[in-house]
Chains A and B, each alone.
Chain A
Amino acid sequence: MNSKRRKPRIGVFKFASCDGCQLSLLDAEDELLDVAAAVDIAYFPEASRAMLKGPYDIGLVEGSITTHHDAGRIQKVRKQCRTLITIGACATAGGIQALRNWVDTAEYVRAVYATPKYIRTLSLSTPIAEHVPVDFELRGCPINKNHLLEVISAALIGRKPNIPTYSVCVECKRRGNVCIAVAQGVACLGPVTQAGCGAICPAYGRGCYGCYGPMETPNTAALTDQFRILGNDGSQIRRAYRGFNAWAWEFRKAGEECE
């Protein structure tokens, strides 16, 4: 790196989310000093009190849009970031909170909050890309910290990040796992889910929960048929698709087709 060149400035922004994805950056302990040396972490309220004003070269956005206030705020964030990267299932698909999209939000507000009039919320939880143009979507619940470093490194060098979009099965077989769908009859979302986690759940005998959202060409109809053959009814199959990426288009469609 040319030391005379201004270091790229990074901003980390949070919307409706659990913070787990932005914590992945802090979780990258071995690489954190390198990241700090390569970039200027200008805005990252979770990590530092120093909150420098924009513009930013790279904006990392976590969380979904669930309030009028956030719908306005994301427009301002977009204007301040040259490259906008959304991180995690909330930002890329609406997150687990998108389960509200199938229910009467007003009724839930009345049932949950003592003083419902204080709550101002949208009826839908939506991904960032439904509101502003996004340069790259990094999937996962939570994201893989190595992916985050890869995306940052690639953005700094100006190359395409190596983030696979094929199925979890490819990673699962490379890892040497025995297919739990075939050998145990487990309903596993692996074949329709994007790789990235390293096939953790199947390695421990659990079906894939679909944390990384739909893979590049998901055939959910064929998988749904197979889930039925394995003895699952419509409500069980719908629940499988309605996880962290429930509102991602293909999972949303697949879940609704089980109604």
Chain B
Amino acid sequence: MSSREEGLSGLVDLPSIGQLISLLERQGWRVIGPTVRDGAIVYERVESIDDLPRGWTEEQEAGRYRLKRRGDDALFGYNLGPQSWKKYLHPPEVRLLEARRENGLLKILKQSDPPPRYAFLGVRACELAAIAVQDRVLVGDRFADPIYEARRKNLFLIAVNCAQAAPTCFCTSMGTGPRARQGYDLAITEILEGERHEFLLEAGSEQGASVLGQLRARQAGPADSEIAEKMAEHAASQIHRRIETEGLHDLLYANWEHPRWDDAAGRCLSCGNCTMVCPTCFCTNVEDVSDVRGEHAERWRRWDSCYTLSFSYIHGGSVRRSVRSRYRQWLTHKLASWIDQFGTSGCVGCGRCITWCPVGIDLTAEVRAIRDTPTRAPKRRENRNGES
């Protein structure tokens, strides 16, 4: 982000958001944004302002989500739906390879076309943080994933600042929100005050500034920035869920035999939903399929989950056979060993794993239970099956 563009901002009216969508489409981006489908706000292709969830919001709590009317015309008056942007940058299913046997030789067939240039409209601050985490994991490490990289490099990111928080949000604990501070091309703050319905657009990159320049924006003043700050403060004040991150890494490492893991295992379905909806979970499995004649083979990469038995399968069997060991693996990786591995927490505080757990298991409550009654790290080691 260059300092010159950083401060560039402007105010636009409601129809301009529609113009922004068509402008990006004309310039070759495929715009993905929030839209109502099957009782939720999901991220799918949006082609006009009519596709946006105008006047919709949601109620969220552990294991429960319901769409609700707001009673106004807000375009971005909701918080987070079930899906993250992960499904576009790190697709659930990708064919890695296709091969055919020809004259006794293996012929690798041409791969499919390059991915579209995506423009994401409506990325929340916690989601920007999640994309940054996946950047670190999937391209910023020793090995880069070309599938993610190809989708990521041409991305146009339009953030939306949160004007309210859901009961499941805890971005303030993880230091990721509610206001988008970096990592976007454009940031939108929707201003709804009485009759006034405007959008403060702030450029975060040259690319963003260029798009902003093509919209009929009027000059934004210090008062507008003030409103945006106030809205972020208001959203932050609504956040009551919390994870105390101070010393969390060591706390979890020391309490790997805490009885709370058994308690969680009694409730956990090991269905994998939390990992599927998590915007940072990146694990995949690679499967080869061949046809009956043994002449055509494909290799597919699919989202996997550490809650499955096959995930920890090595010679001789699965390492994490108990649900206890799988729940503990997920939570400890997310909040502690992720830091050792990637230098950052794997949790951004979006709360999706709380809302979309079919039985409403809340990781913030699990962490609190361990923090409230810590046990000393026992000396004896777990047996080899991960059962103790």
Give me the interface of A with B, judged by CB distance under 8 Å: 1, 31, 34-35, 37-38, 149-150, 152-153, 156-157, 162, 164-167, 169-170, 173-185, 188, 190-192, 205, 215-219, 221-223, 225-226
Contact = CB atoms under 8 A, between A and B. Distances in A.
Given A166-B308, A222-B267, 11 more contacts: A37-B293, A153-B291, A164-B310, A165-B309, A167-B271, A169-B273, A169-B276, A170-B276, A176-B42, A178-B81, A180-B39
8 contacts: A1-B293, A34-B291, A38-B293, A170-B272, A173-B273, A177-B38, A184-B39, A219-B323
B282 interface: no
Contacts of B182: none
Given A174-B303, A216-B308, A219-B323, A31 B292 contact: yes
A131 to B, nearest CB: 27
B268 A219 contact: yes
A136 to B, nearest CB: 16
Contacts of A190: 271, 358
Nearest to B272: A170
B376 interface: no
Given A169-B276, A170-B308, A173-B92, A153 B290 contact: yes
Given A173-B303, A177-B38, A153 B292 contact: yes
A201 to B, nearest CB: 13
Which label, helix, strand, loop or mixed, suits the secondary structure of the A interface? helix
Given A157-B294, A173-B277, A183 B65 contact: yes
Given A166-B308, A190-B271, A156 B294 contact: yes
Contact of A166 (B40, B290, B305, B356): B305
Interface of B: 37-40, 42, 63-67, 81-83, 87, 92-93, 266-273, 276-277, 287-294, 302-303, 305, 307-310, 323, 355-360
Contacts of A221: 266
Contact of B292 (A149, A169, A178, A180): A149
A38 B294 CA distance: 9
Contacts of B288: 162
Contact of B305 (A37, A149, A170, A219): A170
B292 A225 contact: no
A176 B294 contact: no
In the A-B complex, list the 10 residue pairs whose CB atoms are closest, starting with the nearest: A173-B276, A191-B271, A174-B92, A166-B308, A191-B269, A169-B271, A167-B271, A178-B40, A178-B38, A183-B39
Given A157-B290, A162-B287, A182-B358, A170 B266 contact: no
A208 to B, nearest CB: 11
Contacts of B359: 191, 222-223, 225-226
User: Which of B37, B83, B271, B273 has the most C-beta atoms of chain A within 10 angstroms of its own C-beta?
Assistant: B271
Contacts of B276: 169-170, 173-174
A190 B293 CA distance: 34
B45 to A, nearest CB: 12
Given A162-B289, A217-B323, A223-B359, A178 B294 contact: no
B272 A183 contact: no
Contacts of B289: 150, 162
Contacts of A217: 270, 309, 323
A26 B151 CA distance: 41
Contact of B270 (A176, A219, A225, A226): A219
Contacts of B81: 178
A252 to B, nearest CB: 19
Contacts of A150: 289
A223 to B, nearest CB: 6
Nearest to B60: A182
B302 A182 contact: no
Contacts of B38: 177-178, 180, 183, 205
Contacts of A177: 38
Contacts of B355: 182
Contacts of A162: 287-289
Nearest to B42: A178
Nearest to A192: B269
A41 to B, nearest CB: 12
A66 B92 CA distance: 42
A241 B303 CA distance: 28
Nearest to A149: B292
A178 B37 CA distance: 8
Nearest to A152: B292
Contacts of B266: 219, 221-222
B65 A182 contact: yes
B82 A179 contact: yes
B272 A178 contact: no
Given A173-B303, A223-B359, A226-B359, A179 B294 contact: no
A46 B275 CA distance: 44
A185 B65 CA distance: 9
A31 B357 CA distance: 39
B309 A166 contact: yes
A222 B63 CA distance: 13
User: Which of A177, A178, A216, A223 has the most C-beta atoms of chain B within 10 angstroms of its own C-beta?
Assistant: A178
A170 B310 contact: no
Nearest to A38: B292
A158 to B, nearest CB: 11
Contacts of A179: 65, 82, 273, 356, 358
A167 to B, nearest CB: 4
Contacts of B358: 169, 179, 181-182, 188, 190-191, 223, 226
Contacts of B287: 162
Nearest to B293: A34
A256 to B, nearest CB: 19
